[in-house]
Amino acid sequence: MAGPTLEELLREFKIEPATTPTSGPRAKLLRQADRMLDELDKYKTEEELDGDTTRFWWAPQSVNGKRRVSVRYGGKVVKGLATNADNTLPAVREVVETFKKLIEKSTDDTWAAEEERRKK
């Protein structure tokens, strides 16, 4: 005797399976910007910007008193959206906030070329 199917059990317990809404590049970038700002909120000194990986928008080390800040999502840098900031928390935060403002003014259409580039 076979048991109930998953679909039957979901109906019985009135569970609506969650669907993952696809979000556009603008939404992804805004989520990442907020995540970067939340991370910066935890830091007290610029030494905390140092690291071993590039999982954040700022480079894991400074070079000659500057730190590269690159917008990224999906593990890739957005072409053309990188700059150098002084190696201070306020300077790095200011760049991330400026990038966020730029993203807020954009639409998904703004990122069409970037999305196309990523497909290649």
55 within some domain: yes
7 within some domain: no
* Mean pLDDT to the nearest integer, 17-43: 87
- Give residue-wise pLDDT tens across range 84-107: 999 999 999 999 999 999 999 999
47 within some domain: yes
Q: Look up the pTM and report it.
A: 0.80
* Mean pLDDT to the nearest integer, 47-60: 93
pLDDT of residue 8: 85
DSSP the chain: -----HHHHHHHTT-PPP------HHHHHHHHHHHHHHHHHT-SSGGGG--SS--SSB-SS-BTTEEEEEEEETTEEEEEEEEEEESSHHHHHHHHHHHHHHHHH--GGGGHHHHHHHH-
Residue 2 has pLDDT above 90, yes or no: no
d(CA 37, CA 48): 14
Q: How many other C-beta atoms are found inside a 10 Å radius of the C-beta of residue 64?
A: 7
52 within some domain: yes
Tokens of 73: 């999502």
13 within some domain: no
2 within some domain: no
- Between strands 66-73 and 76-86, the pairing is antiparallel
66 within some domain: yes
Residue 110 has pLDDT above 80, yes or no: yes
Which pLDDT band, with edges at 50, 70 and 90, does 59 fall under? very high
3 within some domain: no
Q: Which of 11-20, 57-66, 85-94 has the lowest average pLDDT? A: 11-20
Query: Looking at the 3D structure of the chain, how many domains does it have?
Result: 1
Q: Are 56 and 32 in contact (CB under 8 A)?
A: no
Domain encompassing residue 89: 23-119
Q: Which of 11-20, 40-49, 86-95 has the lowest average pLDDT? A: 11-20
**Nearest Cα to Cα of residue 60 among 73, 46, 75:** 46
